[in-house]
Amino acid sequence: MRNDDTPSNGEELFGDSWSKLDRYAQMLWDHGEERGLIGPRELPRLWSRHILNSMAINDFVPERSIAIDIGSGSGLPGIVLATTRPDVHVHLVETMERRVVWLEEVSAALGLTNVTIHRKRIQDLHGEFQVQVVTARAVAALKKLVPMSMPVLKSGGMLVALKGERAELEIEEAKPAFKKNKISTVDLHVVSVPGTDEVTRVVVAKKK
């Protein structure tokens, strides 16, 4: 039995994605702390603070696109994106072996066929291929995230980053990086996700 903040109307909110999302949440609840994927204080707000938070990027990811999720870790937001947007193929990029093993286990358990897992740094993929979208959550400040992301983005592609209360400050500090890396527009969106009262900040930086 879980004592967490599972949405009572999850099936109504998330339709076909619900069973897989709930399975993923159960795996995190059962094993996330012991495997160093999520802190004990975060478990009571697993849905509101983490899973639902990750879904805030969904509306910014184009249909039938290919995405790279940097520093996928426990699967936030990459696994959530792949689960709720089966039209999107998600490349999960993670350097730590134990986290890669976890991502493989989750992908298999959920039956995700739209996921490719790389045990690499994002820099190792520079020059390998380019995609329409790069996603990131709790990886690095924007001034570092932008130069990491731009080489794997096609022209007109977007970095879609989940950020906290410092989002505006990060944007200001990253202005030199935006200019150097040929960013055409940067927008900060405050998103309300169904199932939680917590607002989420999403920064969308578009490549020229």
> What Rg do the C-alpha atoms of the chain give, in angstroms?
16
Strands (E), the chain: 66-70, 89-94, 115-119, 131-137, 153-163, 183-192, 199-207
Residue 37 in marked binding region? no
Residue 137 in marked binding region? yes
Residue 10 in marked binding region? no
Q: Shortest CA distance to 158 belongs to which of 190, 191, 139, 135? A: 135
Q: How many residues does the chain have?
A: 208
Residue 201 in marked binding region? no
Q: Beta 199-207 vs 183-192: how paired, if at all? A: antiparallel
Q: What tokens appear for 179 in the block?
A: 């200019």
Q: What tokens appear for 174 in the block?
A: 């990253």
Residue 122 in marked binding region? yes
The binding site consists of 71, 76, 122-123, 137
The binding site for S-adenosyl-L-methionine consists of 71, 76, 122-123, 137
